[in-house]
Structure 1
Amino acid sequence: MSLSVPRASGYRGTSLGAFESVWSSKRCFSVSGMRKKELRAMSEEELGGIKVQQERLMRDIHETCEWGVGERWGSAPTETGMSRLSLSDTDKQARDWFVETTKTLGCTVTTDAMGNQFAIRPGLKDGPPTVAGSHLDTQPTGGRYDGILGVTAGIEMLRTLHDNDIKTTFPVGVVNWTNEEGARFPISMVSSGVWAGDIPISHAHDLKEVGTGTATMKSELQRIGYLGDIACSHEAMPLAAHFELHIEQGPILEAENRKIGIVQGVQAYKWFTVKVRGADCHTGTTSFSHRADALLAASKMIIYSHRAASRKGALASTGILTLKPGSTNTVPGSVDFSLDIRSPDDSIVEAVEADCKTAFSAIAAGEDIDNLNTSFTPSSKSCTVSWRTDSNSPATRFHPTCISCVSETTKALFGEKQEELTKAMTSGAGHDSVYTSKRVPTTMIFVPSRDGVSHNPVEFTKPEDCATGAQVLMGSVLRYDLLRGEGKV
């Protein structure tokens, strides 16, 4: 049986605004008289009646965002950002909610040795679950939708299946991946990386928090009670497929008035820590010509990285800058800065890296690279530079069967407007789906971000767009379950 995800009645030929109105008015619909129904035995009409509840989804988002409230950007109660760093006390509160909520929906919840949480709803047959996965941690000055939408939409899927007593052929579930952001412990998607076997768990456990703190991932997992007994491994906790709903974090869907991004893959990126070493000296007694100014050298390197990336059509960014001794009247002798290089093409990332490494060495030695020394006083002193690779994520191509499940779901939902309201996309940001795709069929679903803003308190996605994304997520998971039941995957 093929799966048809619901299309709002009267949608064909109507405006998008009318579609949203119909969607909102019917969002609390449940299938009457359908008790303990097997998904594989349901008619197309019955399948068409399975709808997520927009109001309930938004309640979950906003209520859970009371744990880790960040900067206020408006006057409404929900117009605040988020600051829920991984393995913090507020992250523990969100994790506790995840456990309590999914257990009431008939799920078994497992926590692995990286704190990844797997809430699994049984199916008619045993086997690895098809899951919706994302994360509940945020940036220090983040918003309410990045990651959070994906987890809460997965739970809304479970609520909807529970309400309608729908039995899937195989287990389905939701995953909350630990420290996706890499904001507190400086490797993004680190725990899905351990699960995939790409990052040694010893390295992940020993990661120290960014800044001057001394906590490690392992010590914080222990402190909040989420150091699980199950190994963090795709072998110990196998999955059948992984679908991730996420805000776009860019402006394209909104600008083109589209509702769903059907994500084909993720661009390549590499993260580095660049260490520049000069010599501390007094700002008032040391002339420019006798300084080994590590911060001045680092600033030229950062500017050069932007130019090098621009020449290749790539991206380069610095988000962390740490200097010593940190005194107004002392020239810094030690600077560490992050460097993030991205491109859809692995070879371009490698080329920008190689270019920057050559140029940075020359800049540290005092050479005039790319006219960066123009109007600067030459110095008889020089600096040194070294690099550490923190993350390496090659370009990712998602699984065609999962992509097809999303595409077919949007066809059923949008009808003749499907091409107009969807877009095939490549993600510019890394996600846990990058690592899951190394082990199981995976894809992602994007919904619009207002003004393309993310990692910012004003991050916002319309409630109706959140619900549409959750509908497509649920439909895609169910479609994949039907394909498994038919022996097609």
Structure 2
Amino acid sequence: MWRDLAPLGRDSTTGGYRRYAWTAADADCRAWFRAQAETRGLAYEVDRNGNQWAWLGDPLAGDAVVTGSHLDSVPDGGAFDGPLGVVSSFAALDELRRRGTRFGRPLALANFGDEEGARFGVACVGSRLAAGQLTAARAHELLDADGIPLPKAMEAAGYDPAAIGPDPERLARIGAFVELHVEQGRALDLSGDPVGIASAIWPHGRWRFDFHGEANHAGTTRLADRRDPMLTFAGTVLAARREAELAGALATFGKVSVEPNGVNAIPSLVRGWLDSRAADEATLDAVVTAVESAARADADRAGIDLRVVRESFSPIVEFGHALRDEIGTILGRPPVLGTGAGHDAGVLSGAVPTAMLFVRNPTGISHSPAESATEDDCVAGVHALADVLEGLVRA
């Protein structure tokens, strides 16, 4: 499975993946998922929000156990973030069948669409729509970098955008969702454990900072006469790092667009996206407020107009202790880890009992081609997931 999936959406120059929502690479990944489901005799379906499902047992029976993750990527992302969870879900089912497990509850494997938000700027679109955390109206307003609306992209890929929206009936039929994911840090590497359990997901969000200045000639305009938004943006990037360090939080400007984007032109607009995360919402609010205050102070001094828009926000997710404790008992009490990364399991936690397993990442690098996990650890993750699923579905 891993060999078949590995080439899909991979850039030959960077070695990273560009599996953006509703593109040809995404279609290839979806075809791969469907083929894996049909090869195993599973009932395949796509829900109203474009999420893929493969069912063993009656989808309408209720109290189903669901596992899976996502197949899309960030720009030039790594091979494991998302796909490891999907591949492991199929492998875990194969292991349960090898063991002769008797299924007392329906089991579903899922691929949630547009988890990374790389194309339209909002993370976990598929699960957010299903959970009602992203409205259909807001989803219809989302545009990619080329100005293509989300509905048009879905339609071009063969899906009906008019159907998107909350899916409470489906979520009500799920008794538990367990997502396996490569660890995006080095806690397991430092502890020496191949597999761990998630305790909580830090609150996090994305804010867009628009710095409006005045376009002018880079070779003829005096420095004193410039309204250069790039300078204010640069100061804001430094402010984000400073405030995050002071608060013990995280703040990153990882995406920027510039207009007119000419080498010999002073920009008229610099747009930067802030990603910030912290252990609690009060700290997160304080960091973002401080960054915005610093940006506005610099903007006022430089004659720059600033607009700040919160594009997405996810509150803290404390995974349910009952399911987490049950999984811990099944696995013999592996390490319990917090994480600053968002996941579909976190989005769904408000409607469904959810839990997460992490597989050791020896470098801690994620969202990069250098992301990795050893084959032995991946196999350990499959066996851990199979043990958990067996404990949950067994008749």
TM-score above 0.5, yes or no = yes
- Alpha carbons of 1:315 and 1:187: their partners in 2 closer, same or farther (altered >3 Å)? same
Question: Any conservation in 2 of the 1:406–1:472 contact (CA below 8 Å)?
Answer: no
| Residues 1:392 and 2:333 are matched in the alignment | no
Gaps of 5+ in 1: 1-59, 74-79, 367-380, 412-417
TM-score scaled to structure 2, two decimals? 0.94
- Deviation string 1:81-118 (CA, Å, 9 cap, x unpaired) is 32222221121111112112212323222212321111
CA distance in 2, matches of 1:140, 1:125: 37
| Residues 1:199 and 2:140 are matched in the alignment | no
- Alpha carbons of 1:124 and 1:286: their partners in 2 closer, same or farther (altered >3 Å)? closer
CA distance in 1, matches of 2:320, 2:392: 12
Question: Any conservation in 1 of the 2:95–2:386 contact (CA below 8 Å)?
Answer: no
| Residues 1:426 and 2:338 are matched in the alignment | yes
Partner SS state of residue 271, structure 1: strand
CA distance in 2, matches of 1:164, 1:306: 51
- Alpha carbons of 1:113 and 1:215: their partners in 2 closer, same or farther (altered >3 Å)? farther
- Out of 266, 269, 293, the residue aligned to residue 331 of structure 1 is 266
The one-letter amino acid paired with 2:366 is S
Partner in structure 2 of residue 449 of structure 1: 361
Q: 1:334 offset after TM fit, Å?
A: 0.7
- Out of 459, 463, 467, the residue aligned to residue 371 of structure 2 is 459
What does 1:123-134 align with in structure 2 at a 5 Å threshold?
A: 126-134=61-69
- Out of 178, 181, 185, the residue aligned to residue 116 of structure 2 is 181
CA distance in 1, matches of 2:217, 2:25: 43
- Deviation string 1:135-154 (CA, Å, 9 cap, x unpaired) is 00112211111100101111
CA distance in 2, matches of 1:217, 1:455: 23
The one-letter amino acid paired with 1:64 is L
- Alpha carbons of 1:115 and 1:124: their partners in 2 closer, same or farther (altered >3 Å)? closer
- Deviation string 1:315-357 (CA, Å, 9 cap, x unpaired) is 1001111111111221112110000111011100011122122
CA distance in 2, matches of 1:103, 1:233: 27
| Residues 1:435 and 2:376 are matched in the alignment | no
Over alpha carbons, which structure has the higher Rg? 1
Partner SS state of residue 309, structure 2: strand
Question: Any conservation in 2 of the 1:396–1:434 contact (CA below 8 Å)?
Answer: yes
Aligned length: 393
TM-score scaled to structure 1, two decimals? 0.76
Question: Any conservation in 2 of the 1:112–1:228 contact (CA below 8 Å)?
Answer: no
CA distance in 2, matches of 1:207, 1:311: 34
The one-letter amino acid paired with 1:101 is Q
CA distance in 1, matches of 2:204, 2:65: 27
Q: 1:297 offset after TM fit, Å?
A: 0.8
- Alpha carbons of 1:269 and 1:477: their partners in 2 closer, same or farther (altered >3 Å)? same
CA distance in 1, matches of 2:74, 2:349: 24
| Residues 1:237 and 2:158 are matched in the alignment | no
Partner in structure 2 of residue 351 of structure 1: 286
Q: 1:228 offset after TM fit, Å?
A: 7.9
Partner SS state of residue 338, structure 1: strand
Gaps of 5+ in 2: none
- Deviation string 1:253-294 (CA, Å, 9 cap, x unpaired) is 112211112111100111100001111111222211111101
The one-letter amino acid paired with 2:7 is E
- Alpha carbons of 1:206 and 1:346: their partners in 2 closer, same or farther (altered >3 Å)? same
What does 1:149-298 align with in structure 2 at a 5 Å threshold?
A: 149-163=84-98, 166-209=101-144, 211=145, 213-227=146-160, 232-238=165-171, 239-298=174-233
Q: 1:164 offset after TM fit, Å?
A: 5.1
Question: Any conservation in 2 of the 1:71–1:82 contact (CA below 8 Å)?
Answer: no
Q: 1:251 offset after TM fit, Å?
A: 1.5
- Out of 370, 385, 402, the residue aligned to residue 323 of structure 2 is 402
Q: 1:72 offset after TM fit, Å?
A: 6.3
Q: 1:71 offset after TM fit, Å?
A: 4.8
Question: Any conservation in 2 of the 1:120–1:129 contact (CA below 8 Å)?
Answer: no
Partner SS state of residue 391, structure 1: strand
Partner in structure 1 of residue 235 of structure 2: 300
Partner SS state of residue 356, structure 1: helix
The one-letter amino acid paired with 2:169 is A
CA distance in 1, matches of 2:284, 2:177: 27
- Deviation string 1:193-213 (CA, Å, 9 cap, x unpaired) is 11111110232243212x3x1
Q: 1:229 offset after TM fit, Å?
A: 8.6
CA distance in 2, matches of 1:229, 1:241: 29
Let me know the Cα RMSD of the aligned residues.
2.0
- Alpha carbons of 1:162 and 1:217: their partners in 2 closer, same or farther (altered >3 Å)? farther
CA distance in 1, matches of 2:98, 2:193: 30
- Alpha carbons of 1:285 and 1:236: their partners in 2 closer, same or farther (altered >3 Å)? same
